[in-house]
Structure 1
């Protein structure tokens, strides 16, 4: 049997615990018998599962399967690279209520929350987070460490660059590109390409200078 190690015990980490508990097919398939946290903050309390130590001190064991629950793309990448350098193994977690179509290729560390629809002919990179109720249209490409907050709608042939962050309920019309490291604010409707590294928001979405990371 194996245990899930949730990396990060903040709000998203607590959500991940709930989504795991409501995904019995995933738990059975991965042969999971326990769930724990690691987190670098002092005195983490009120968690639904034990916190066994810090990220800095964590040493992977052979039966550990990791899920990174750190929302910031940049912070997530830093932590993942530290743990992977110690031979930690990150799994893909797709909630039992996610719907995945044909010819979908995804790399390690993908997190897909409940009621997500991923259609066909889609490429998803490493450690991408897709939150609840998102819709991913055909021929979409989502690059490493990107984050889609809840209820985003990516229509056909959209490209999302590495470490881009889309806020809640962002809609991107067909064929548009969200550049690497860009931040698109909640509720935005993207009608034109968003350049790399900028902050963009509104309906229609407009760019307002470089993102502060």
Structure 2
């Protein structure tokens, strides 16, 4: 029996707790041990397991496994690398209502929430997270440490590079490329390449400056 530790203790961590409970009933043999966080979020008072430690201070124990529940992709990368350096192992959590083609290739530490549809020959690299009702056409490629939010649609051959964030309701046309650390705004329609480190928004999506 594995002991699952969720990294983070905010709203996404509570969502991952619920996802893990569903997954453990249907597919995976683990129990939820608790959370890692540097902040006291009051999560235990809400009826969830306790915060065990911070990421920095936690010592990985036998039978531990991990899932990172941090939405900020840059912070996610940093804390995941810290746990890996301590010998920690990560698992995938895939909701039983998700439809994942047998030809899909998945890395590790991936989360796929309810009612996602992942089509033929899609590749999702490690530590990326799909919120509910994401749809991916054939041959889509998702890099490492990406955040894909609810109702996003990816036409065939879309490529999302590492550390990108695709916000809710975004639609990406066939063959579009989103480069590293780019952000696609909520509800945007992307018809051309999104350059590294930029944020785009609108229909059609255009670069915006803050």
Residue 145 (structure 1) aligns with: 145
Would you say 1:33 and 2:31 are equivalent positions? Answer: yes
Q: TM-score, normalised by structure 2?
A: 0.94
> 2 CA distance for matches of 1:174 and 1:34?
40
Q: Secondary structure at the match of 2:144?
A: coil
Residue 136 (structure 2) aligns with: 136
User: Residues 43 and 198 (structure 1 numbering): CA distance in 2 closer, same or farther, change over 3 Å?
Assistant: closer
Deviation at 1:145, TM superposition (A): 0.5
Deviation at 1:43, TM superposition (A): 5.6
For 1:1-213, what aligned pairs fall within 5 Å after superposition?
A: 1-23=1-23, 24-26=25-27, 30-42=28-40, 44-45=42-43, 46-47=45-46, 48-209=48-209
Structure 1: segments with no counterpart, 5+ residues = none
RMSD of the alignment, in Å? 1.4
Deviation at 1:123, TM superposition (A): 1.2
Q: Is the 8 A contact 2:19 2:93 kept in 1?
A: no
Structure 2: segments with no counterpart, 5+ residues = none
Q: TM-score, normalised by structure 1?
A: 0.93
Q: Is the 8 A contact 2:9 2:41 kept in 1?
A: no
| 1:72-103 deviation digits (Å, cap 9, x = unpaired) | 11000000001100000011111111110021
Deviation at 1:131, TM superposition (A): 0.7
> 1 CA distance for matches of 2:5 and 2:31?
11
Deviation at 1:107, TM superposition (A): 0.9
Q: Secondary structure at the match of 2:59?
A: coil
Q: Is the 8 A contact 1:166 1:185 kept in 2?
A: yes
Deviation at 1:61, TM superposition (A): 1.2
Q: Is the 8 A contact 2:10 2:41 kept in 1?
A: no
Q: Is the 8 A contact 1:44 1:51 kept in 2?
A: no
